[in-house]
Amino acid sequence: MLSFFKDYKGFAIVFAIISIIIIAIIYNTLNVYKPLTIYQPANFEPKLVDSTKQHVKKYHKIADFSLLNQNGDTISQKNYTNKIYVADFFFTTCQSICPIMTDNMVRIQNEILNDNDIMLLSHTVTPEIDSVEQLKRYAKLKGVIDSKWNLATGDREQIYNLARKSYLVVEDDPQNKYGMIHTENFALIDKEKRIRGIYNGISSTAIDSLLKDIEHLKKEYNK
């Protein structure tokens, strides 16, 4: 019996080493970091993308903008430099999906309150109604924290183009080129101003996924 173990001792050692290597490879494969998708216009349904952008397969980024926030301050991409942010489109007098969307944005705000890397941006789709003063009242009502979340108003055409050509979150209306945008979609934007996720802003499950993806995206910058 002892001679048997002596004869196979070398084999056992080699087998053990190979087994450890295989287990390590499997473990690393299962735990490898997989970055979030970088979305391009070509990844979306054509109805969500302006015809001038539908062919774009790489290098898509959110365009710069110049809008006014709830405090009357001009905001642009400079306010989101080196930030991950969540963007949506709403209006203060909406009685259907917007209250749910806003509540979910408040939920996100509360989760990221102490995280300097994350911000929020909500664009009104009725800028003629949602003046700076109206947005300020709404911000106070909803508990918006100015340092974390901008409610933006401004030129209707600019806002519409952001929705259709940059964030890719709303269907085109050929009958009303710059008509009211109404979309429940939230967009997750990375520090390079690229789309990394689209979420249903009225679904609590989708918001759960969004919050997880924010943490996942942060790992990308911490690696």
Residues 110, 102 contacting (CB under 8 angstroms): no
Q: Please say if the pLDDT value at position 9 is more than 70.
A: no
How confident is the model over 161-216, as pLDDT tens digits?
A: 999 999 999 876 655 555 667 799 999 999 999 999 999 999 999 999 999 999 99
- d(C-alpha 100, C-alpha 52), whole Å: 32
Region of 82 please: left (phi>0), alpha (psi -120 to 50) or beta: left
H runs (alpha helix) in the chain? 2-30, 98-111, 132-142, 156-161, 204-222
* Confidence (pLDDT) at 119: 98
Binding positions for Cu cation: 94, 98, 182
- d(C-alpha 210, C-alpha 197), whole Å: 8
Residues 51, 84 contacting (CB under 8 angstroms): no
How confident is the model over 18-77, as pLDDT tens digits?
A: 766 666 555 444 557 799 999 999 999 888 888 888 888 899 999 999 999 999 999 999
Residues 210, 188 contacting (CB under 8 angstroms): yes
- d(C-alpha 201, C-alpha 105), whole Å: 8
User: At residue 119, what are phi and psi to the nearest 5 degrees?
Assistant: -140, 175
Structure tokens at 42: 């070509």
Q: Please say if the pLDDT value at position 14 is more than 80.
A: no
Residue-by-residue DSSP string for 7-28: HHHHHHHHHHHHHHHHHHHHHH
- The residue ranges of DSSP E strands in 42-184, in sequence order, are 67-68, 74-75, 84-90, 118-124, 149-152
* Confidence (pLDDT) at 118: 98
Query: What's this model's pTM, rounded to 2 decimal places?
Result: 0.83
Structure tokens at 45: 């349904």
Q: Please say if the pLDDT value at position 4 is more than 80.
A: no
* Confidence (pLDDT) at 30: 53
State the average pLDDT over residues 135-155: 98
How confident is the model over 91-100, as pLDDT tens digits?
A: 999 999 999 9
* Confidence (pLDDT) at 47: 82
% helix, strand, coil for the chain, step of 5: 45, 15, 40
* Confidence (pLDDT) at 2: 47
How confident is the model over 105-138, as pLDDT tens digits?
A: 999 999 999 999 999 999 999 999 999 999 999 9
* Confidence (pLDDT) at 186: 98
State the average pLDDT over residues 80-89: 98
Neighbours of 181 (CB within 10 A): 22
State the average pLDDT over residues 148-158: 97
Residues 131, 153 contacting (CB under 8 angstroms): yes
Binding positions: 94, 98, 182
* Confidence (pLDDT) at 3: 54
Least confident of 1-10, 141-150, 166-175: 1-10
